[in-house]
Amino acid sequence: LLGAARQAGVDKNADVLKRIGEAQEALIQKSYLDQEIAKLVTDSVLQEKYQELLKLLPKDQIELKLSHIMVKTKAEADEIFKQLKAGKSFDDLVKEKSLDTESKQKGGDLGYVRKEELPKDFADLAFKTQKGSVVSEPMKIGDVGFSVIRVDDNRPVTPPEFSKVRDDIFKAVSPE
């Protein structure tokens, strides 16, 4: 397309040349401003903003590491509860019964979640459940089915390290 435009002489057109010049000037101005802003937004300024963000984060927040066995029906979930009470291993049931192929490959692992990331009723149950125990009721997962969920771990939520969020903070304080 560029070759065809040049062959047609579009690159010699006065309006096009004027617009190229304006675009070039705008790019030079933006580059200059970016350089000047980078001089003003020092690591100490970014550290100060980081500390302000840390003050806004909720204190003493806990997150849970969950694993699940996803099945189609409540009856299947109830049957899994019976098998667990009879001594069957949660990990074995994940391999045998879970329909969630992605988490199934990781032993049902869903990773860590915070209370606000879960539906309220379920979050209330999950956060009352002891580490290593199965949540007392199956969780309905939309139209997909039901999950039998185990709480594998709990830990305090820790804020991200400055080095991991530095660039995001820089973008937030820099005009763009």
Q: What is the pLDDT of residues 144-172, one digit of tens each?
A: 899 999 999 999 988 889 999 988 988 88
**Nearest CA to 135 among 163, 168, 113?**
113
**Nearest CA to 65 among 107, 14, 17, 5?**
107
108 pLDDT exceeds 70? yes
Residues 6+ apart with CB under 8 A from 41: 170, 173, 174
Q: What is the mean pLDDT of residues 51-80?
A: 91
DSSP assignment of 39-60 equals HHS-HHHHHHHHHHHHHHSPSS
Instruction: Count other Cβ atoms within 10 Å, centred on residue 40.
Output: 9
Do residues 48 and 40 lie in contact, with contact meaning Cβ atoms separated by under 8 Å?
Answer: no
11 pLDDT exceeds 70? yes
H-type alpha helices, 9-161: 14-40, 43-56, 74-85, 90-97, 101-104, 120-126
The residue that leads in pLDDT, 3 or 58, is 3
72 pLDDT exceeds 70? yes
176 pLDDT exceeds 70? no
Choose the weakest-confidence range: 56-60, 100-104, 126-130. Answer: 56-60
Residues 6+ apart with CB under 8 A from 9: none
139 pLDDT exceeds 80? yes
The proportion of the chain whose per-residue pLDDT surpasses 70, expressed as a percent, equals: 99
Give per-residue pLDDT as tens, 75-96. Answer: 999 999 999 999 999 999 999 9
pLDDT value at residue 37? 82
Average pLDDT of the residues of the chain:
90
47 pLDDT exceeds 70? yes
Q: What is the mean pLDDT of residues 34-43?
A: 84
d(CA 19, CA 14): 9
Give per-residue pLDDT as tens, 118-133. Answer: 888 888 889 999 999 9
Do residues 169 and 64 lie in contact, with contact meaning Cβ atoms separated by under 8 Å?
Answer: no
**Nearest CA to 174 among 78, 38, 49?**
38
Q: What is the mean pLDDT of residues 26-48?
A: 88
